[in-house]
Amino acid sequence: MADAPLILITGATGHQGGATARALLARGHRVRAMTRKPDAPAAQALAAKGAEIVRGDLDDEASLRAAVAGAWGAFAVQNTWEAGVEGEEAQGKRFARVAKAGGVQHYVYASVASAQRKTGIPHFENKWRVEETVRGLGFQSWSIVRPVFFMENFLGGWFKPALDQGQLPLGMRPTTKLQMIAVKDIGAYGVLAFERADLKGRAIDIAGDALTPVEIAAAISAASGRTITHVQVPIEEVRKGSADYAAMLEWFDAVGYDVDIAATAERFGVPPTRFTDWAARAKW
């Protein structure tokens, strides 16, 4: 283990970074987990599994240089909803440049499904520009993983308070299919991005299931033991809170993700988590 290539994970206490760190550790990889809060329970849980914990901030270049020192690989993820669209893009480009300068050989970037499709959604378009930076930096090898909408979003602040009151407020038509993925599946693909040669120099879109808002509400109802009803929030009301989020919902209705879930699962050997199974295990 001491001689194994070292993989640095950003966002190690978040959804994607945490899932990838846990999956890599379970496969016997040597992991360095970067976080702004090394003493946080999530960081300490990774330390207990064998990860090296380092303090790092995507807005602090000096901390990034220290974090990448000696790393063979890096998994990079940023968060629009924390940093803002411009801030996330700056973070993504900054970390990629620091990783290249610091000698990282294999770089894995967590983008978003359909980033390449000119969606017009701000937090999709900025990830595409980060992708272009990664491709242009001249890493020895790189991979890009593009997940769709997270199932875990339904446990977060956008949805959980309303779900507790029996409503699923989602500004989409009740008949629109939404492709989703469980973060543990993202972790599985994150591992493959470091292990499989056929993912080098390639971007892949990944998803686990596709349901309408009505079907999502029904699945949560069955899992939680209480009746949940989909409420189609007027898109102009959504726009008052976030033009970016509203643009994404409008795109879901008009176009939507296009992952071939069955073919991707067959090719890469990652069984897709179905939403009903995920919901049955979630803490509602």
Q: Give per-residue pLDDT as tens, 123-155.
A: 999 999 999 999 999 999 999 999 999 999 999
181 φ, ψ (degrees, to nearest 5): -145, 145
Average pLDDT over residues 46-55: 97
Q: What pLDDT is recorded for position 2?
A: 57
Residue 112 identity (one-letter amino acid)? V
Spatial contact of 106 and 194, defined as CB atoms under 8 Å apart: yes
* Residue-range domains of the chain with CATH: 6-147+183-205+259-267 (3.40.50.720)
Helix, strand, coil % in the chain, rounded to nearest 5 = 50, 20, 35
Percent of the chain with pLDDT over 70: 99
Q: Give per-residue pLDDT as tens, 200-241.
A: 999 999 999 999 999 999 999 999 999 999 999 999 999 999
Q: What angle (nearest 5°) sits at the alpha carbon of residue 212, between those of residues 210 and 215?
A: 100
Tell me the two tokens of residue 197.
Answer: 């040669």
Tell me the two tokens of residue 185.
Answer: 């599946």
pTM: 0.95
Please report which confidence band the pLDDT of residue 81 belongs to, taking 50, 70 and 90 as the band edges. confident
Average pLDDT over residues 31-58: 96
> Cα–Cα distances in Å, from 257 out to 75, 113, 143, 148?
23, 7, 20, 7
Q: What pLDDT is recorded for position 182?
A: 98
